[in-house]
A and B are shown apart, each in its own frame.
Chain A
Amino acid sequence: MPETETALPKTASAEAAPPAPPATTPQSGDLVRRHRLSTRLWHWANALALFIMLMSGMMIFNAHAHLYWGEFGANPDRNWLTLGTGQLNAFPGWATIPSNYSLADARIWHLAFAWILLIGAPLYLLWSLVNGHLWRDLLFRRGELRPSHIWHDIKEHARLRFPTGAEALKYNVLQKGAYLGVLLVLLPLIILTGLAMSPGADATTHVSALFGGRQSARSVHFIVAAGFALFIVVHLVMVVLAGPFNEVRSMVTGWYRLPLDKGAK
């Protein structure tokens, strides 16, 4: 997905300055600064951590492939989801860490890499409040949530028509929804439900009560993990459609080439 952060080159007299003169407006084809260092670091730390958490998490799920609502839930109780069979694991070895069945090893990975999400998400959220990233780039602007505007963006996405030139430096409403969903919904939920399943952390915080019990928290943990998987798939598809070299470069180096207008040159 095309992403934006620092759009226009800064002018010296910001307060009284009229809208940036055309000469300094980035044009299609220009190489511009796009992602600040904190975003790039956090992005790649999360990319690594999420893959490991999902893969080791699927192995942990294999140990008891049933989900329940409420405080308790075990084999004699009514579950709402069962994956796999007695013979077959819920998730196959090619998708799990480790690839052979080992609850113990999967927990070693899961509990270690959990720190990246546990520390990274609150720090990034805080930093995004301080540096303005959250309200400047991510929060919805007035009018953006109008159904007609959202519908327009959905149609543009479906036709694979992406913004070009300086317009490509701003998130559209679907992108904002996706990124805000990750930062403000998925990440907090995955952390809180993770803590809720830890008997020690739950004794201190009673956080499982927020979700209606430990087994409900475990179910929500699973559903949110599926949400992350869906986000990753859509995110990667959009990166490929929007030009993978330019997109990956911008997330590695921070520099992004503004897309050319369709048909130009």
Chain B
Amino acid sequence: MSIILCRRRLLGTGALGAGGLILSGCDKLNANPAFRSALIEAGSWHEGAQRALGSGALAREYSEADMSPNFRVNGNTNPEDASYKSHAATDFAGWTLSVDGLVKRPLALPMTAIKAMQQRKQITRHDCVEGWSAIGQWQGPQLGQILSMAGLLPSARYAVFHCADRFGSSPYYESIDLVDAFHPQTILAWEMNGQPLSIGHGAPLRLRVERQLGYKQAKYVMRIELRDSLAGLFGGKGGYWEDAHDYQWYAGI
């Protein structure tokens, strides 16, 4: 009996010790570059699985009755940039979207041209990485239409969105691959819930890439750059949050 009691005490002490080791050990592993990149690698298999199982799937679209009564704003809600502010003062009448990089015909599209293109209107769910969701209606031309106008060079692999907002000294940017760029629900929205996009929601143009999380929905889009690689651009990970905090570049999960 005393042997059993000893064993019990030993196991109890062991469990407590193991608990402490787990906690400090996890933080050490979290900071260990090899372990961390192994975790990131395993996480990226979700991208492969989702691409293999449903690269053409459509995100669910909702009816007007399903919409959030109050769609909250998030991230940067009022860019400080002087040039942006002067555009805002004139309701973005002089805003142009540049499309350049690996394209046959670089474009400079004024807002009137973007609004005159064939439009797609969709009521979709915006899923923030933090966990909340809001449902709103978005309207704008399909990104694929704009990219086709510019004509992609065969080496183009990614569409990079350069934005007018910044965190500290880092400009906001995001990128998607061509599967998402030519997905029918990927649009450049200038209208939300039947109104021109508000500044808080990304006026005058924001990306909607519906099968990914909120941080991919770049606001204040000034320029779309077609690239063959994300390396060499800012932190090289394809987006502001990806560079700054190791958010997943593929934000379908």
Contact = CB atoms under 8 A, between A and B. Distances in A.
Interface of A: 51-52, 55, 60-61, 63-64, 66, 68, 71-77, 94, 97-100, 102-105, 107-109, 111-113, 115, 197-206, 208-209, 214-215, 218, 240, 243-245, 248
Contact of B36 (A100, A108, A202): A108
Interface string B214-253: 0000000000000000000000000001000111101111
B245 A75 contact: no
Contacts of A197: 127, 131
6 contacts: A64-B128, A66-B132, A76-B69, A109-B30, A111-B248, A198-B253
B11 A74 contact: no
Q: Identify whether the interface residues of A are mostly helix, strand, loop, or mixed.
A: helix
Contact size range, B:
35 or more
Interface in B22-39: 22-23, 26-27, 30, 36, 38-39
B132 A73 contact: yes
A200 B50 contact: yes
A60 B8 CA distance: 35
Contacts of A203: 54, 57-60, 210-211
B116 interface: no
A89 to B, nearest CB: 13
Interface in B7-63: 7-8, 11-12, 22-23, 26-27, 30, 36, 38-40, 42-43, 45-46, 50, 53-54, 57-60, 62
Nearest to B209: A199
B206 interface: no
Contacts of A52: 26
A74 B132 contact: yes
B127 A199 contact: yes
A244 B12 CA distance: 9
B59 A97 contact: no
Contact of B129 (A66, A73, A107, A243): A107
Given A214-B127, A244-B7, A72 B135 contact: yes
Most B CB within 10 A of own CB, among A55, A109, A218 = A109
B45 A74 contact: no
Contacts of B129: 63, 103, 107
B247 A206 contact: no
A243 B4 contact: yes
Most A CB within 10 A of own CB, among B23, B60, B133, B252 = B133
